Structures are given as C-alpha cells and as structure tokens.
Structure 1
Amino acid sequence: MGLSKWEEDLLKNADAVMDKSPMEDLYAGVFFNQNRKKYWIDKATFGNCFMVFARDFTVAWGSDKRYWDWPSIKETSEVFIDVAELLMVCWLSVKSKFDTANLTAGMNYEVVFVMMIKENSRGWSAPVTFTLILPNGNKQQHEESLLKKPRSQWFEIQVGEFMVEPKNDGIIEFSLSKSKENWKTGLVVKGGAIPTKGKKVTLIVRNVNDLSRDVIKSDTASVKIPEIDLELAGGTLGGLVITVEGLVTKINESLERVHGFTFGDSLDEDRRSKWLDFKARLLKLLNIEETWTLILDNALENSFIAPTTYDIKDDFQLTFEYERSWEHNKELGLNDMDTSFVDVAYAS
C-alpha cells in the first residue's frame, strides 16, 4: 500500500528521524507538533488514528504551578512527552479539539481519555463528567467515578464514539470536568486517543501452526481464554511482542511468580489443588488436544494477532470485532462490574 501525499508530508515533518520503512513507521506511530500529537495507521482497518497529548489540551489553571505540574515521561525508548499532573483544584476542566478531516472517512471512531490516579489522591468521591461534542453539535455525555480505578497505573475511559461522514467532518471537542467545590488532587492526564473504534481480536487456535502466530499485546489489553475461564485484566503482563505459545508460557510464568505453586502453608489444600489444576489446564492448551480461543480485548485498538493469509479477511480463524459502546455496556450493567478479585488474582 502506497503512502498518500498527506502521509508523506507527515513523515517529513515528524519530530524524530524515521529509521524504518515508511509503512512500518506509520504502523508504529509518528510523533509530531513537538511531541504533542501522535499519528498511526491501524493494521486491521488501515484507518488513521491519533493521540492528542496533554500539552495540546486547554487545562483550567494549567499554567499556575500551584495547581498543575507538567512532568516529562518516557513514551517510547526515544520520545518523552509532557503529562498534566493535578496538584490541587476545586474547578476541574481539561479539554481539547480535533479536526475529523484528518481521520478516515466512513470509519467508526471513539475518543478515549488516558489517565492515572496516584496513590495519595483525594477528592474523587463524586463522579467526573466526560463530554464529546460532534461537528453537527450533537453531545455525548456521561459521568464516571474514578474512586475505584487502579492507583498509579494508566487506564482508559471512553468519552464517546462517532462515524466520520465525508460531508459532515469538522471539529470535535472532548473534555473531562468537575465543578463541585471540593479539592481534588492526584490526577495525571496523558491525553486523548482517537483510534478506530476499539476492538476485540479473537483467534481460534486449532493446530501447532497457530501457536507460532505473532501477537502484539498492548499494555492495556486484557487477555481471555474462555475454555479455562482465564481473564487477565488490562495492565497485566504489560506490553508484549510475542507468539501465541509464548503468551501462554508468559501467563504460566506470571502465575508461578504470583502464586508460587509451591504454596507450603500459605494456602489451604483445597485452594492449592484448584490452582494446580488450573496450571495443568493452562499448559494443556499447548498440546492442541482441543480447539481453544484466545481473545485480546483492547480499548485503544493497538493489539494485533498475525493472520496466516495475505488478506486478513481470508483468515477465518481470526476475527476483529468492535466493542460495545459505553451506552450498551451501561444497559448490560458492565460499567459497574467489580473486577477487583480478578485483578488481584492475576496481577503480576
């Protein structure tokens, strides 16, 4: 696939010198505008995707050092970005704009805030308001509590979703806000991602060749193998470039580290037996005695499982499904599910 004139110009004006082939650079992501934005092409949909980092946001009181700090963090091995760290405010307002003309016409997109709550944060008992205003003026808005979000690790919250219509592109506005007069501290905002709508990658593992497929698991992707009731929360294992076989082995090693499988007196015999049984079922997957399913669920859509065919659509064992919308999750009661037990059980 050749580059468009727009993509060629973007590579020429990138913040860093590119050292790969042009398409590899665009798949991996290109930083521009003094590391305030990142652009990449999604491998599954070939859609244009963007990350708008915090420095490109309008932050109320953001220039006042009493209220906000702007530390630099390492985003890649060579790129540092500034994040917005809340020291203390009563009136919280963080917002940005983006021109949908830069996105791929006809595709579905979502807007996702990437943020963190620090360990000693306070003032988050009331939910925060997330708002997306589309070019036609339609508004999507919901409230979400940050109180039970994991501390000191990045997580994502979907703001809204939309389709890019060729005759109706324009500026979108997205924000998080809270106007209650209690003091709030400890929020860190990395930015807002605008990927093609988050996906679930599902692979039916049928033979030894499937174990050799390459897997890109992002740091935020959850991993599920329903046949053995395995579900690892997003953030578990970190980001990986690995094979299917390597991923299963890595999961086993993580469980060995966390639970030991040399429990001694730390667990009663019944729980010990259950964990050993689970380990045996996990490793049995590598023998391919039965078909099993690997699912990568990722809000930011930057995880991938390699197809065995030239065209992804011809690999019938591999599917890329769009996630449910926030509203659909609310109807199903999924937004309020308590997954803390799973997070504790499998955290590495």
Structure 2
Amino acid sequence: MIMKRSRRVHEKKDGEDDENTVVCNILRLPEACLAHAISLTTPGDACRSIAVSSAFQAAASSNSVWERFLPPGYGSILARADHPVDLTSTMKELFCSLAQDHVLLDQGTKSFWLEQTSGAKCYMLSSSSLGIAWRENPLYWRRTYLPDSRFEEVTELLAVCWLEVSGKIDSGELSPDKKYSAYLVFRLLNESCGLDCPTQQGFITRDGEIVSAKRIISLHPQTTAQEAAAESGDEQGRGRADEEVSITTVSVSYPRERDDGWMEVELGEFYNRQEDTGILAISLIEHVQLHWKKGLICEGIEIRPKK
C-alpha cells in the first residue's frame, strides 16, 4: 500500500511538472503572440487573463488587443460626435469609456456606445429623429425637456387616436452577425390612457420586408385584469377579464423599468448578417381601434444586441 501511494504521489508530481512546463513555455512566447491570442477572445476574457501573470497583464492591456475589440470604422463614427472624443488615450481606455457612457452623434439625433461584453455597436435614436404622425400639430404632440434624458428634447403625447412612431437606421451601422432587439424608451404620465390597446403593434422591416414577427405592445406595465376586476367586486367583469387574458396576453410585450429610471418595451428583434444591407425601420402603430391615447413621453428607440 505504501508503494502504491508513493507511486501515485510520484505520478502526480510528474503531472504537475508537465503542467508547469506548459505554463512556462507559454510565458516564453513573445508578447505580440500572447496579445494576438488574447485578441481572439472577448473583452471579458482579456480582463480575466490579466490575473494570470505579469506577461499576460502586459499583453492583455496592449493597444493591439483592445483595438481589435473596437468595432471596424469606429473612427468615422466618433468623427460624427457632437463633442470631441479623446483618441489619445489607450485603446483599452477608449473601449471602457465607450462601454460605460454614450456619445451623442449627428447634432444630438443619435447616441452611440459599445456593448460591454462583446464590443457590438449600440444606438439610441432620439425622439426628434423619429417619424411621429401628427407631431408638428401642437394639439397632439409637443417637444419638451427633461433633465434626466440623454437628449436635449423629448416628445410628449398630448392626445391622438392614430398612433404611429418609427425610427430608421442603416443595417451597415450595426455590428455584423449579431442578433439585435429594438426598444421604445419612454415614460408615462399619471394621466396616461389608451396605450395598452390590443391592436397596438410593434414590428421591424428592412427595405419594406418584415424581419421580425409582429407583436402586441402594451405601454402600461403588466397587471392582471383579474386583480382589477376583483378590486371592483365585479364578478362578471372578472369572467370577461379571464377570457380576455387567455386570448390576448400570450404575445403581448410589456414594459420594464430601466436602471436609468426610464421604461422600455421591446418592439421586435432581428439578426443582422454580414451581407445584410438596407434601411431598418422600427415601428409602433395603432390605427385600427383608434382609441384616444395620451400621457406618453418618448425619449427614443434603442437598438442593442439581444442577450
């Protein structure tokens, strides 16, 4: 038994020596080779590899690694910034800055940032850049300012029957071979109404062809119709609510609160292939039942990778 245990210990030490030899051999690689290998991973992997050794730390922090994580053509995008972006910092610092905060582009009509884990391009189209039916009529919509918005102005719905909001972006502005989702970013006023109509739809087209399934969009947070009927003591209404929920809520998109205090609701999703070209149009419409709607403050439409 003692002999066997000694053999096992000896074999384990031999294995450890082999492992140490491999590690030592990797550390003998030139920094450029290590950097190239790390650049084939992800920003998260690069940050974790820093803890391996001082050689990995130097390679994983190099400009060659982080420039690869930055999207192609990032320079031309940042050239459209409303305020100059510091390009004299390291590529890692630039990546982290773009992943942590947004940059306003094109006279404040878009904001741009990078998705932290992949470096994919993300945008928000400001409400001022959206196509909104009847917006120029002051009886229906008005432009206003909110201090916690990233844009200089937001758009408030005063009263409409015909609701139509749409934003457009070129497929080439997005990262290729990524699945994206589009969200309406908004806020509701206390007197809001009519924004959960079952004929209110969200969808996405590319050059007129639908690329996402149409879905029912409610701008009011999800609550059960049964609870509302129970609070009013309406037994008959409760039965109607049960029936309505079973029919309509299967494909309804409901909003959720964001970390920045705004709300968002998903309008659709799509895959942006390398070879895809054309203009993407993201739409929210309701012109079937034509119920009166009011109390919506629209900040914009956000387009970011689907998690």
TM-score w.r.t. the length of structure 1 is 0.51
- Check if 1:23 corresponds to 2:95: yes
Query: Structure 2: how far apart are the matches of 1:74 and 1:80?
Result: 9
Any idea what SS the aligned residue of 1:73 has?
coil
Bigger strand share: 1
**Does the aligned pair in 1 maintain the 2:203–2:210 contact within 8 Å?**
no
SS at match of 1:168: coil
- Identify the residue that residue 197 of structure 2 maps to in structure 1: 126
Task: From the superposition, tell whether residues 136 and 88 of structure 1 become closer, same or farther in structure 2 (CA, over 3 Å).
Answer: closer
Matches of 1:100 and 1:166, distance apart in 2: 9
1:193 maps to 302
Checking the alignment, whether the CA contact within 8 Å between 1:95 and 1:176 is kept in structure 2 is: yes
Q: What residue identity is the alignment partner of 2:270?
A: F
Are 1:110 and 2:219 counterparts?
no
TM-superposition CA deviations, 1:225-262 (whole Å, max 9, x none) = xxxxxxxxxxxxxxxxxxxxxxxxxxxxxxxxxxxxxx
One-letter identity of the residue aligned with 1:134: R
Alpha-carbon distance in structure 2 between the residues aligned to 1:151 and 1:103: 24
Please report how far the alpha carbon of residue 182 of structure 1 lies from its aligned counterpart in structure 2 after TM superposition: 2.4
Q: Distance between the aligned counterparts of 1:46 and 1:101, measured in 2?
A: 16
Note the C-alpha offset of 1:123.
Answer: 2.4
* Structure-2 change in CA distance of 1:102 and 1:47 (3 Å): same
- Write the letter of the residue equivalent to 1:13: R
RCO higher in structure (CA 8 A, sep ≥6): 2
Pair 1:65 & 2:138 matched: yes
CA displacement at 1:168 relative to structure 2: 2.2
1:59 CA displacement: 0.6
* Aligned residue-pair number: 196
Q: Distance in 2 between matches of 1:25 and 1:75?
A: 20
How does 1:1-348 map onto structure 2 within 5 Å? 1-2=66-67, 6-18=73-85, 21-27=93-99, 28-75=101-148, 80-124=151-195, 126-127=197-198, 128-135=200-207, 137-139=209-211, 140-148=213-221, 154-179=262-287, 180-197=289-306, 199=307
User: Structure 2: how far apart are the matches of 1:96 and 1:188?
Assistant: 16
State how far apart, in whole Å, the 2-side matches of 1:182 and 1:64 are: 18
Structure 1 residues 117 and 91, CA gap change in structure 2 (3 angstroms): same
Alpha carbons 1:124, 1:184 under 8 Å: kept: yes
Percent sequence identity is 28
Distance 1:193 1:17 in 2: 23
Distance 1:6 1:47 in 2: 12
Instruction: Show CA shifts across 1:155-204 (max 9, x none).
Output: 1111111111122232111111111232211011111111011x3xxxxx
CA–CA distance in 1 between the matches of 2:95 and 2:263? 28
* d(CA) in 1 for partners of 2:161, 2:208: 31
Q: Distance in 2 between matches of 1:148 and 1:163?
A: 27
Please, what is the CA RMSD of the aligned residues? 2.5
CA distance in 2, matches of 1:174, 1:196: 15
Paired residue secondary structure (2:175): coil
Aligned in 2, Cα 1:83/1:122: closer, same or farther, shift over 3 Å?
same
Task: Indicate conservation of the 8 Å contact 1:136/1:168, yes or no.
Answer: no
Question: Could you tell me whether the CA contact under 8 Å between 1:36 and 1:81 is conserved in 2?
Answer: no
Q: Which has the larger radius of gyration?
A: 2
What's the offset of the Cα at 1:75?
4.7
Counterpart CA distance in 2 for 1:35 and 1:184 is 28
Higher share in helix: 2
Asked if the contact 2:256–2:263 (Cα under 8 Å) also holds between the matched residues in 1, the reply is no
Matched to 2:144, the amino acid is P
Q: Which amino acid aligns with 1:82?
A: E
- 1:298 corresponds in structure 2 to none
| TM-score, length of structure 2 as denominator length | 0.58
Q: Distance in 2 between matches of 1:105 and 1:75?
A: 32
Task: Tell me how far apart the structure 2 counterparts of residues 176 and 74 of structure 1 sit (CA, whole Å).
Answer: 25
Q: Alpha carbons of 1:136 and 1:58: their partners in 2 closer, same or farther (altered >3 Å)?
A: closer
SS of the equivalent of 1:126 reads coil
Query: In 2, distance between residues paired with 1:13 and 1:146?
Result: 33
- Secondary structure class of the residue paired with 1:190: strand
